[in-house]
Amino acid sequence: MGRLLPSNLAKIAGLIFGLVIMIVFMLSSMKFGITPIRWSDVFHSFTNYDSSSNEQIIVQTSRVPRALVAAAIGASLAVAGCLIQGLTRNPLADPNVLGINFGASFAVVFSVSVLSLTSLPILTGVSFIGAAAASLAVYLLGSFGRDGLTPLKIILAGAALSALFASFTQGMLVLDAQGLDEVMFWLTGSVAGRSVDMLKAVLPFMAVGWLGAVWAARHMNVLTMGEDTAQGLGQRTIVIKLIVGLIIVALAGSSVAVAGPVGFIGLIIPTIARLFAGSDYRWIVPYSALLGAILVLAADIAARFVIQPSELPVGVLTAVIGIPAFIAIARKGVVKG
Amino acid sequence: MRDYTYIRSEKLAVSFFLHKKTVVLTLALAIASVAALLLSTGMGDMRIAPMDVIRALTGGGTEEYQLVVRTLRLPRIIAAFLVGASLAVAGSILQGIIRNPLASPDIIGITSGASVTAVAFINYLAGTVSILWMPVAAMIGAAITAILIYALAWKKGVTPIRLVLIGIGINFLLASLTKVMLVMNPETTAAQAYVWLTGTVYGTDWVVVKTIVPWVCIFIPLAFLLARNVNALQLGDDIASGVGSAVQRQRFVLLMVSVALAGAAVSVGGAISFVGLIAPHMTRKLVGPAFGGVLPIAAFIGGLIVVIADTIARTAFLPYDIPVGVFTAGVGAPFFIYLLYRNRNAA
C-alpha cells in the first residue's frame, strides 16, 4: 500500500532522509543535557580527545554511550516488534507476547532481592538469560500439538506465562520493600548510566538480529499470507518461524538486558512504519529500525529537560512522543485488521 | 443435536435450546463456588471447621466465630468473588466484540485509567480526603478513559481494530504517567500505590461489598440479555449487519456494560490483572464460543480464581497478608496451561 511513499525511489529517499535525521538526533543527544556543551567540544572529543576538558569527558563517557544505547535498543525493539506482529498476524502483539520483559524482570528482581546482586553488568547477563528462558518456554508451549506454532496458541501461551512471571515478580517486590526501591530504577527502563561495555556485550546478538531480520523479511511476506498459502508456495514454515523466533529473542532480549523493560516501541513503531513502507517487510524492517532509533533518541533528549535537574524514565517520554502519532495513524485507518 | 436438550412449553410461547455440557458445568461450578466460599471462610490465622462456619452464618456458634466469619472474612471473600466474576465477564464481552484474543479490560485502558487516578489519589489527596473515596476516583478514571478512547476511535463509526489500537495507545500513556508518579514520590506512598497496582481486597468490609453488588446485579444479567448480540458481533461486522444487528449501537452498549463491570471491579480490588484476559479463554476451551454459555461459566471461573488466590494470599505467608493480584496468575495460569496442552490438537 505505502500511501505516503508510493514508489521504490521515494522509499529509498525516505530511508536516507531518516538516516540523516537519526544522525542529527545522535549528535544532539551528545550536545544537549544538564551540562551545556559546545558543538566544538562534541567534535573535538572524537578528533583530538582532551582528557583535561570536563566537557569532552562528559561527552565521551556519558553521552556517547547513551546515544548509542538509545539508537540500538530503539532499532532492535522496533524490528523485533514488526517480526512478532507478522509471526502472530496480530497488530496488538509486541515482543512481550513472548514473555521477554516479564522473564527478564523476574530474573533481575530475583537476583537483586534473593541473591543480592546489584552490579549493572551482572544484571545485564541475568536479564538476557531470563528473557531467553521465558521466550523459549512460551515458544515450546505454543508449539505443542499437531499443527505446531499457530498465532493463537503463541499468544495464549505467552499471556499465561507472562502473567505467571509477572506475579512471581510482584510477589517478591511486595514482600521486600527494600528490594523494590533498589530495582525500581531498573524496572522503569532507562538508557542513562549504561557503559559502552554493556552495549558491546550484547552487540553481537543485536547485529545478528538485524541482519537476520533483513534476511527474513521476504520470508515474512510469504508467511503473513497464512500458514497454508506459505506451505503451498514451498516455504518450510516451521523452520522460518523458529528462526524468526530466535531473531526476536536476540533483539528484544539484548535490548531489555541493556535498558530494562522499555515498553511499547515494539508495538507502535511497526504500525507507524507501515504508513511509510506499505505491507512489504523488506521495507517495513528498515523503516522500523530507523523510526525506532529516532523515537528513543528524541525521547531520551526530551527526558533530560522536563523535570530538571532530575530525569524522567525514557519509557515515559517515548509514550508521550509516540502515542499521539500512533493515535493519529490508527484513526487514519492505515492498519487493516 | 445429541449435545442439546430443549425446554418447550405447549401453552406459553417459550422455547429454549440448552447445551447439556454447559448446564452441567454451570451447576458444578456453582457448587464448587459455594464450597470454596465456605472453606475459604474457615481458613486463616484462626481455623474454623466448615460446619462451624455455616453455624456462624445462620446466627449460631460462639460470638468470636461470628465476628471472624461475618465481619472479617465473609465480606472480603464475597468481594473477591464478585471482583473476579465482573472482570471475567467484562473480558468475555470485550473479546467477543473486539474479536481479538488479546483483548481484556487492561488493554483498552479501563484498568490503566482507574490506576492513574487511584495512584494520584494515594499520592496527592490521601492526607486530606478520606481513603474511602478512592474507589470513586478509580471508577471515574475508568469511565473517563473508556469514553475518551471511544471518542478518539470514532470516525463514522468505530471499528474493533481502531478501538483496540487507540486503547493500547492511551493505555501506555496512562501507564507511563502512573510510573512517573511512582518514581517521583516518596517510597512509602510508592509502596502503597504498588500494592494497589498489584490488586488487593485487604480490609474489605460490607460497605465495600454493598458498593459493588448493584453493579454486578445489574450488569451481569444485562450482559446475559445481550448475549445474542455478542454472538452476532463475533462473526464480524459485515455478517453481523447482514443478519440485522445494529452493529455500532450494540457495540457501544456492550462496551459500556464491560466498562461498568471492570470499573466496579477495579475500584474495589485494584488492578488485578490476568483474570479478565484468561478466564474467557479457559471458558471457551471448556464449552466453545457461544456467548450465552460462556458468560455464566466465565463468571464462576473468574470468581473462583480470585477467591482461591486470595485465600492463598492471606494464609500461605502468615503473618503477612499478600495482595491477591500476586496469586491470581499463580492459581489461574497452571490450569490454563493444562487446558492449552489438552486442547493442543484442536483448531
Report angle CA B161, B272, A258 to the nearest 5 degrees. Answer: 75
Interatomic CA distance for residues A137 and A99, integer angstroms: 9
Q: Which of A122-126, A284-288, B130-134, B261-265 has the weakest average pLDDT? A: B130-134
- ipTM value for the complex: 0.71
- Is pLDDT of A16 > 80? yes
* Mean pLDDT calculated for residue range B289-316: 87
pLDDT cut 70: percent of chain A above it = 95
pLDDT average, residue stretch B170-194: 77
Q: Tell me if the domain spanning B75-342 has CATH number 1.10.3470.10.
A: yes
Range in A227-241, A268-282, B5-19, B58-72 the model is least confident about: B5-19
pLDDT digits (tens, 9 = 90+) for A282-336: 888 999 999 999 999 998 888 888 776 677 777 778 888 888 888 887 777 654 4
Q: How many helices (H) and strands (E) does chain B have?
A: 15, 2
* Contact at CB, B166 and A331, closer than 8 angstroms: yes
Distance CA A184, CA A169 (A): 12
Nearest CA in chain B to A264: B172
pLDDT recorded at residue B230? 80
Q: Is B344 on the interface with A (CB under 8 A)?
A: yes
Instruction: Read off the pLDDT of each residue in B1-16 and give the average, rounded to a whole number.
Output: 66
What is the dotted CATH code of the domain comprising A8-332? 1.10.3470.10
What cell was used for B41?
Answer: 471462610
For residue A313, the chain B residues in CB contact (below 8 A) are: 176, 179-180, 183
H or E stretch covering B256: helix B247-269
Please give the Cα distance from A264 to A314 (Å, whole number): 12
Q: How many angstroms away from the CA of B277 is the closest CA of chain A?
A: 8
Q: Does A337 contact B at CB distance below 8 Å?
A: yes
pLDDT for the residue numbered B15: 62
Please name the residues between 226 and 255 in chain A that touch chain B, using a CB distance below 8 Å.
none
CA proximity to B328, closest of A171, A68, A26, A98: A171
Q: Name which residue leads in pLDDT, A287 or A144.
A: A287
Better-predicted residue by pLDDT, B288 or B31: B31
Record: contact A163-B340, CB cut-off 8 A: no
pLDDT digits (tens, 9 = 90+) for A46-95: 887 777 778 888 888 888 888 999 999 999 999 999 998 888 887 777 88
Pairwise CA distance, residues B343 & B325, whole Å: 27
* CA-based nearest residue to A259, from A58, A123, A117, A109: A123
Average pLDDT over residues B225-233: 80
Please tell me if residue A321 touches chain B, with a CB cutoff of 8 Å: no
DSSP B128: T
Q: How does pLDDT run across A196-249, given as a tens digit for each residue?
A: 888 888 888 899 999 999 998 888 888 888 888 888 888 888 888 889 989 998
If you compute the radius of gyration of chain B from its CA atoms, what whole number of angstroms results?
21
Using the Cβ of B301 and the Cβ atoms of chain A, whether some distance falls under 8 Å is answered with no
Q: Could you tell me the pLDDT band of residue B269, with boundaries at 50, 70 and 90?
A: confident
Domain ranges of chain A: 8-332
Shortest alpha-carbon distance between residue A174 and chain B (Å): 7
What's the Cα-to-Cα distance from A246 to each of A131, A240, A304, rounded to whole Å?
A: 12, 10, 35
| pLDDT (0 to 100) of residue B328 | 83
